Amino acid sequence: MRTNRLLPLAAAAALLLSACGGGESVDTGGGGGGGDDVLIAAVSAEPDQFDPHVTNAYASFQVLENVYDTLVVPSAEDLTMQPSLAESWTTSPDGLSWTFTLRDGVPFHDGSEFDSADVVYSFNRIIDEELTNAYRFATVSDVTAPDPRTVVVTLTEPTPNLLAQIGSFKGMAIVSENAAEEFDLQSEANGTGPFRLESSDANATVLTAFDEHWGGAPSIDGVEFRYITEPTAALTALRNGEIQWTDNVPPQNVADLEGDDEVELGSVTSVEYFYMSMNYAVPPFDNRDVRRAIATAVDREEVTQAARFGAAQPNQTAIPQGSPWYLDYAPFTPDQEAARQLLEQAGVQTPITMGLMVTDESPETVAAAQVIASQLEPIGIDVEIQEEDLATWLDRQSEGEFDAFMLSWIGNIDPADFYENQHLSTGGSNYQGYSNPQVDDLLSRAATEPDQAARKALYDQAAQLVVDDVSYLYLYNPDEVQAWAPGLTGYQVRADAAIDFQNVELP
Exposure string over 54-90, b if 16+ CB within 10 A, otherwise e: bbbbbbbbbbbbbbbbbbbbbeeeebebebbbbeebe
Quick one: 1 or 72, whose CB is closer to other proteins? 1
Using DSSP, state whether 339 is helix, strand or coil.
helix
If you write DSSP's letter for every residue of 175-213 in order, what string do you get?
A: PPTTHHHHS-TTT-----SSEEEEEE-SSEEEEEE-TT-
Query: How far is it, in rounded angstroms, from Cα 490 to Cα 506?
Result: 9
Q: How far is the CB of 256 from other proteins (least distance, A)?
A: 7
Quick one: 212 or 260, whose CB is closer to other proteins? 260
Quick one: 139 or 386, whose CB is closer to other proteins? 386
Q: How far is the CB of 299 from other proteins (least distance, A)?
A: 8
User: In the complex, which residues of this chain contact other proteins (CB under 8 A)?
Assistant: 232, 250, 252-253, 256, 301-302, 305-306, 309, 360, 363, 366-367, 369-371, 373-374, 377, 384-387
Quick one: 344 or 387, whose CB is closer to other proteins? 387
136: DSSP letter: G
Q: How far is the CB of 26 from other proteins (least distance, A)?
A: 18
Q: How far is the CB of 305 from other proteins (least distance, A)?
A: 5
Quick one: 388 or 414, whose CB is closer to other proteins? 388
Quick one: 14 or 297, whose CB is closer to other proteins? 297
Quick one: 140 or 383, whose CB is closer to other proteins? 383
Query: How far is it, in rounded angstroms, from Cα 389 to Cα 17?
Result: 12
Distances in Å between the alpha carbon of 468 and those of 99, 170, 291? Answer: 40, 35, 9
Q: How far is the CB of 236 from other proteins (least distance, A)?
A: 10
Q: Which of 413, 415, 417 is CA-nearest to residue 457?
A: 415
Beta bridge partners of 65: none
Counted residue by residue, the chain has a size of 507
The stretches of 333-383 forming alpha helices (DSSP H) are 336-345, 363-376
Quick one: 369 or 493, whose CB is closer to other proteins? 369
Query: How far is it, in rounded angstroms, from Cα 161 to Cα 147?
Result: 25
Quick one: 152 or 385, whose CB is closer to other proteins? 385
Question: CA dihedral in degrees (451, 454, 458, 464; nearest 10)?
Answer: 130
Q: How far is the CB of 334 from other proteins (least distance, A)?
A: 12
Q: How far is the CB of 255 from other proteins (least distance, A)?
A: 9
Q: How far is the CB of 383 from other proteins (least distance, A)?
A: 9
Q: Which of 82, 112, 94, 106 is CA-nearest to residue 158?
A: 94
106: DSSP letter: -
Query: How far is it, in rounded angstroms, from Cα 376 to Cα 350?
Result: 11
Using DSSP, state whether 244 is helix, strand or coil.
coil
Q: How far is the CB of 97 from other proteins (least distance, A)?
A: 54
CB-based contacts of 68: which residues, under 8 Å, 6+ apart?
A: 52, 170, 173, 174, 175, 189, 191, 192, 193
Quick one: 282 or 373, whose CB is closer to other proteins? 373
